[in-house]
Amino acid sequence: MLSDVDHSGGVIITTPHGGRPLAVRSFPGLEVLLSVEPPSDDEFWDYTACFASQDLIVGKLLGASERLVAIDLDGEVHDLAEQEPGGLIPGAHHTWLSATDTTIRRRRLALSHLA
Protein backbone atom coordinates (compact mmCIF):
# COMPACT_ATOMS: atom_id res chain seq x y z
CA MET A 1 0.00 0.00 0.00
CA LEU A 2 1.34 3.48 -0.84
CA SER A 3 1.78 5.22 2.51
CA ASP A 4 3.78 8.43 1.93
CA VAL A 5 5.77 10.39 -0.66
CA ASP A 6 8.85 12.41 0.30
CA HIS A 7 8.88 16.15 -0.49
CA SER A 8 11.00 15.63 -3.64
CA GLY A 9 8.52 13.13 -5.06
CA GLY A 10 11.37 10.75 -5.86
CA VAL A 11 10.95 8.31 -2.95
CA ILE A 12 7.87 6.60 -1.53
CA ILE A 13 7.03 4.33 1.41
CA THR A 14 4.96 1.23 0.82
CA THR A 15 3.53 -0.76 3.70
CA PRO A 16 2.71 -4.46 3.62
CA HIS A 17 -0.39 -6.55 3.49
CA GLY A 18 0.05 -9.92 5.11
CA GLY A 19 3.41 -9.62 6.86
CA ARG A 20 5.72 -8.40 4.12
CA PRO A 21 8.38 -5.80 4.98
CA LEU A 22 7.89 -2.07 4.97
CA ALA A 23 9.74 -0.69 1.94
CA VAL A 24 11.20 2.61 0.80
CA ARG A 25 11.18 2.71 -3.01
CA SER A 26 12.34 4.97 -5.80
CA PHE A 27 9.59 6.66 -7.78
CA PRO A 28 8.54 6.14 -10.48
CA GLY A 29 10.84 3.10 -10.91
CA LEU A 30 9.74 1.39 -7.64
CA GLU A 31 13.22 -0.01 -6.96
CA VAL A 32 13.47 -1.10 -3.30
CA LEU A 33 15.96 1.21 -1.56
CA LEU A 34 15.31 -0.04 1.98
CA SER A 35 13.36 -3.07 3.20
CA VAL A 36 12.52 -3.36 6.90
CA GLU A 37 11.13 -6.53 8.45
CA PRO A 38 9.30 -6.33 11.79
CA PRO A 39 11.83 -6.83 14.62
CA SER A 40 10.07 -9.92 15.99
CA ASP A 41 7.97 -12.75 14.58
CA ASP A 42 4.90 -11.75 16.61
CA GLU A 43 4.81 -8.17 15.25
CA PHE A 44 3.66 -6.75 11.93
CA TRP A 45 3.60 -3.32 10.29
CA ASP A 46 0.49 -1.19 10.39
CA TYR A 47 -0.77 0.11 7.05
CA THR A 48 0.68 3.62 7.40
CA ALA A 49 4.15 5.08 7.82
CA CYS A 50 5.57 8.50 6.98
CA PHE A 51 8.75 10.44 6.42
CA ALA A 52 9.49 12.21 9.73
CA SER A 53 12.77 13.77 8.61
CA GLN A 54 15.40 13.34 5.90
CA ASP A 55 16.80 10.40 7.90
CA LEU A 56 13.84 8.85 9.74
CA ILE A 57 10.52 7.19 9.03
CA VAL A 58 7.78 6.87 11.64
CA GLY A 59 5.60 3.77 11.66
CA LYS A 60 3.57 1.55 13.95
CA LEU A 61 4.21 -2.04 14.86
CA LEU A 62 1.21 -4.11 15.87
CA GLY A 63 1.00 -7.43 17.66
CA ALA A 64 0.73 -8.18 21.38
CA SER A 65 1.18 -4.42 21.90
CA GLU A 66 1.21 -1.36 19.67
CA ARG A 67 4.50 0.51 19.30
CA LEU A 68 5.23 3.82 17.58
CA VAL A 69 8.73 3.54 16.15
CA ALA A 70 11.29 5.46 14.11
CA ILE A 71 13.24 3.67 11.38
CA ASP A 72 16.64 5.04 10.40
CA LEU A 73 18.35 4.80 7.00
CA ASP A 74 20.13 1.61 8.09
CA GLY A 75 16.76 -0.07 8.73
CA GLU A 76 17.19 -0.05 12.51
CA VAL A 77 13.95 0.27 14.46
CA HIS A 78 13.92 2.60 17.49
CA ASP A 79 11.06 2.84 19.98
CA LEU A 80 9.80 6.37 20.41
CA ALA A 81 9.68 7.61 23.99
CA GLU A 82 6.17 8.95 23.48
CA GLN A 83 3.50 6.57 22.23
CA GLU A 84 0.32 7.68 20.47
CA PRO A 85 -3.12 6.15 20.32
CA GLY A 86 -5.02 6.14 17.06
CA GLY A 87 -4.18 6.16 13.42
CA LEU A 88 -1.03 7.57 11.84
CA ILE A 89 -1.65 9.88 8.87
CA PRO A 90 1.24 11.45 6.90
CA GLY A 91 1.31 15.26 6.97
CA ALA A 92 3.27 18.04 5.30
CA HIS A 93 6.84 19.08 6.12
CA HIS A 94 7.89 15.91 7.98
CA THR A 95 4.86 15.87 10.27
CA TRP A 96 2.09 13.37 10.83
CA LEU A 97 -1.39 13.42 12.27
CA SER A 98 -2.49 11.17 15.10
CA ALA A 99 -6.23 10.61 14.87
CA THR A 100 -8.62 9.00 17.36
CA ASP A 101 -12.42 9.07 17.47
CA THR A 102 -12.36 12.43 19.27
CA THR A 103 -9.03 14.14 18.49
CA ILE A 104 -6.60 14.95 15.70
CA ARG A 105 -3.10 16.08 16.69
CA ARG A 106 -0.24 17.20 14.44
CA ARG A 107 3.07 15.70 15.52
CA ARG A 108 6.73 16.32 14.66
CA LEU A 109 9.68 14.17 15.63
CA ALA A 110 12.33 15.64 17.90
CA LEU A 111 15.51 13.68 18.55
CA SER A 112 14.60 13.62 22.23
CA HIS A 113 11.67 11.33 21.33
CA LEU A 114 14.02 8.44 20.54
CA ALA A 115 14.19 6.07 23.46
DSSP string, 77-92: EEEBSS---SEEEE-S
Domains in the chain, ordered, with CATH? 2-113 (2.130.10.10)
pLDDT at 99: 85
The predicted-structure confidence for 62-110, as pLDDT tens digits, reads as follows 988 889 999 999 999 999 877 777 788 888 888 888 888 898 988 888 7
The predicted-structure confidence for 9-18, as pLDDT tens digits, reads as follows 999 999 887 6
pTM for the model stands at: 0.84
> DSSP letter at 64?
S
